[in-house]
Amino acid sequence: MLFLWVFGDNVEDDLGHLRYVVFLLLCGVGAGIAHAVGAQNPDAPLVGASGVVAGVVAGYVMLHPQVKVWVLLFYRLPLRLRAFWIIGAWVVFQAGNALIAGESQVAWWAHVGGFVTGAVLVVALKRPDVRLFDHDLRARIQRRSERTGQEPA
């Protein structure tokens, strides 16, 4: 849920409220299908929203790969890295576990399916004035601050 809290509001801003709800639902469907097709034990119950959160993470990295995010390396050392590197490492970890986990209690394929679904859907569902890969990011931040009356961060 931490990932949803950190990345979700930005994706929602770029999609709009209604399209964001559709995006979340379809990421869940994609995660479920990937779990059913890819898991060694697809009859195991699929509980939780981790596939949906993986879709939100994919949407974020497609929209804002250059934004710097704070992470705790080894749970102690704070580093500020670009979202592309953090999420890229997370994707490698998820895909690697999906391929080698066997009969795991974690729905690794749901994470992979949610991520792929989110990456595809964000292209189709983003607002027309939003560009992929942080193009024109400063202009959007300025427009948003003018709309809300707040200074850009």
Q: What is the pLDDT of residues 45-68, one digit of tens each?
A: 777 788 899 999 999 999 988 888
Domain spans of the chain, in order of start: 2-148
Q: Average pLDDT for residues 70-77, to the nearest whole number?
A: 84
Residue from 108, 113, 14, 127 nearest 61 by CA: 14
Look at residue 80 and tell me whether its pLDDT is greater than 80.
Answer: yes
What is the bridge-based pairing of β-strands 77-82 and 68-73? antiparallel
Round the average pLDDT of the chain to a whole number and report it: 82
Where residue 72 falls (left for φ over 0; alpha for ψ -120 to 50; beta otherwise) is: beta
- Tell me which amino acid residue 31 is: A
Look at residue 39 and tell me whether its pLDDT is greater than 80.
Answer: no
Query: pTM of this prediction?
Result: 0.77
